[in-house]
Each structure stands twice: as structure tokens, then as C-alpha cells.
Amino acid sequence: MHSLKLNEEACTRCRKCVDTCFVNALKWDTSIPKGAPVLAYPADCQICCYCEKLCPTQALEIIPDWASKYIPRTLSNAKGW
């Protein structure tokens, strides 16, 4: 499954990442004092990386799990995946 890596120091808690995710894969975790974005629905994540791009402080990184995505065999063979 895809995952989210957050730089806690860099995150300003602006929530732009959560607001921008068009499949609502990101949610705001209120269980920690300042809150934080979490990849609540990793199977829905399209690895578009809009959330990364729109983060004003580059605090967010989406770590793709390529094995969980459908990739045509011709492409995977060509790439050596």
C-alpha cells in the first residue's frame, strides 16, 4: 500500500494537502495535538502527487507501492520492475 511520510518540523498544518486530494484519500488526524495529514485510504491514492506539489513547505512525501498498482506487463518488463 502507498504511504505518506510527513516532516513534522516543516508542516505548518495549513491542510492544503487534505483539501487538494481529489479522491479524498487524505484525512486530517486530530488524535495528535497539532493535527497532521494522514493517508487514510491508501488504496484510493492515485499517486498524482498534487498534495506534494501544493504543500508550501514540501513537508509531505507520498511513498508509492508500485506492486499494488496495475502496470502493463510490457511496461514492467521494459523497465525491469
Residues that bind ligand SF4 (CB under 6 A): 11-17, 20-21, 23, 25-26, 37, 39, 45-51, 55-57, 59-60, 62
In whole angstroms, the minimum distance from the beta carbon of 55 to ligand SF4 comes to: 3
Contact present, 21 and 50 (Cβ < 8 Å): yes
In whole angstroms, the minimum distance from the beta carbon of 71 to ligand SF4 comes to: 17
Instruction: Output 56 or 81, the one with its CB closest to ligand SF4.
Output: 56
Give every CB contact of residue 44 below 8 A, 6+ residues apart in sequence: 23, 24, 25
Residue written as grid cell 484510493: 44
